[in-house]
A and B are shown apart, each in its own frame.
Chain A
Amino acid sequence: MLLIVDMNYRKDSVGYYEFVLPIASSIKDLEEYTIRHYSELSRTDIDRYSRIILSGNALEDKQVLTQIEDFAWVGTCEKPVLGICAGMQAIGLIFGSPLKRCLELGMTWIRTVKRNPLFFSSFKAYELHGYSIQPSEELDVLAESEKCPQAVKHKKKEIYGVLFHPEVRNREIIRRFMDL
């Protein structure tokens, strides 16, 4: 079963409709899922699921990044994880990659720079972020835009981050993640 982690500023927020439900609708025919807010997750909860997606959040929402200790479980997680936007930023911080200012809004060209099972070649994707990450040595960069890293993967684990929003355009990326 898939766990979708709500990364919005609080549980049951207005951002839930925009950043969480579209992920759920991307995979609803593929697998059962549960949605939980990041603040209410424990290690025991994580162990119950086969894979995990961390949602994005609003452009002005910095709340989750001030509570990065809530994501310590990502560092030892052996299951497939996909972080979207704020989810990628959280994965970056957990693996020692500081945030780097990079504002991108709207449809943007993405170029694949390392072979991976989620996407290939160049494609346009929907962006809504004020920060990317400066990837540490623990992460491989999989894709870039003209401005900054757009996708990363942990070198030894099935932990991925994408800065763009595949639940808006390129939903097949989420479906491929479900096949990992």
Chain B
Amino acid sequence: MRLAVLYSGGKDSMLALLKAAEKEEVICLISMVSKNKESYMFHTPNIKITRLQARALELPLIRRLTEGKKEEELKDLREAIRRAEEKFKIEGVVTGAVESVYQAERIQKICHELRLWCFNPLWKKDQEELLEETMRKGLKVIISGVFAYPLDKSWLGKHIDKEMIGKLVALQQEYGISPSGEGGEIETTVLDAPLFKKRIEIMDFNVESDGNSGVFQIRKARLTEKCY
């Protein structure tokens, strides 16, 4: 089955891509670039890096800009998926949804209207397990956004490794924070993954933060040979 992956450049969409690619054929990526920082559907720091990630994956990328207004952004998503269908003859769409019935319902509806299959390979996955699988599969992931107490700028740009997973799980126990950021507490950016032909090297970045909210903005990056 020919599938498109809704790809934000973070760990969830990357892990969903890897799982889908183990079973079916991933043909292209779709990224929504939202102007609205409050968007429930699409906003994520470093969305622009998906261009580089698509090159690393050697997959075509359909990018669509959206104002991020509540129902309008769904029309924009529908249009992006329709374009993927037209251009790449996709038969289905894969998302990195884990818990959000809000997102899942809306994407299912669009896919159904377009008569496309919809898959959510991370659906209801335990969040600690999700982080461990991210590491086990060899993804190199940094924290590129924090949006909840007691997280702050000291977390930004840090790699998700065994020690970091331990810290995030401890925060869950103490503060009720979702360790994989399912409640929007953290956002991540993937710099390397098993299907990447090259890895992403960050050349320049900027940290913007205000208390418990902050982003690690990649200003300049390039593809470079992987280290084996």
Contacts and interface: CB of A to CB of B under 8 A. Distances in A.
Q: Say whether A and B bind each other.
A: yes
Interface of A: 12-15, 17-18, 21-22, 25, 58-61, 103, 105-107, 126, 128, 130, 167-169
Contacts of B101: 106-107, 126, 168-169
B112 A17 contact: no
Contacts of A105: 105, 108-109, 112
Contact of A17 (B92, B104, B121): B121
Closest 4 CB pairs of A and B: A106-B105, A22-B124, A17-B121, A14-B23
Give the interface SS of chain B, mostly helix, strand, loop or mixed. mixed
10 contacts: A14-B119, A17-B19, A18-B119, A18-B123, A21-B125, A60-B92, A60-B118, A105-B112, A107-B105, A130-B112
A58 B119 contact: yes
Nearest to A171: B124
Of A17, A22, A106, A169, the most chain B CB neighbours within 10 A belong to A17
Given A59-B118, A60-B92, 13 more contacts: A12-B23, A14-B3, A14-B23, A14-B121, A15-B119, A17-B122, A17-B123, A18-B123, A25-B124, A59-B111, A105-B108, A106-B101, A130-B112
B24 A22 contact: no
B124 A167 contact: yes
Give the interface SS of chain A, mostly helix, strand, loop or mixed. mixed
B23 A25 contact: no
| Interface size class, chain B | 20 to 34
Nearest to B102: A106
B136 interface: no
Nearest to A126: B101
A107 to B, nearest CB: 6
A60 B116 contact: yes
Interface of B: 1, 3, 19-20, 23-24, 92, 94, 101, 104-105, 108-109, 111-112, 115-126
Contacts of B1: 14
Contacts of B122: 17
Contacts of A130: 112
B111 A18 contact: no
Contact of A128 (B19, B23, B108, B126): B108
Of B104, B120, B122, B123, the most chain A CB neighbours within 10 A belong to B123
Given A14-B24, A18-B123, A22-B124, A61 B105 contact: no
B24 to A, nearest CB: 6
Contacts of B125: 17, 21
B108 A59 contact: yes
A168 B124 contact: yes
A20 to B, nearest CB: 10
A169 B104 CA distance: 13
B20 A14 contact: yes
Contacts of A14: 1, 3, 19-20, 23-24, 94, 119, 121
B123 A60 contact: no
Contacts of A103: 112
A128 B112 CA distance: 10
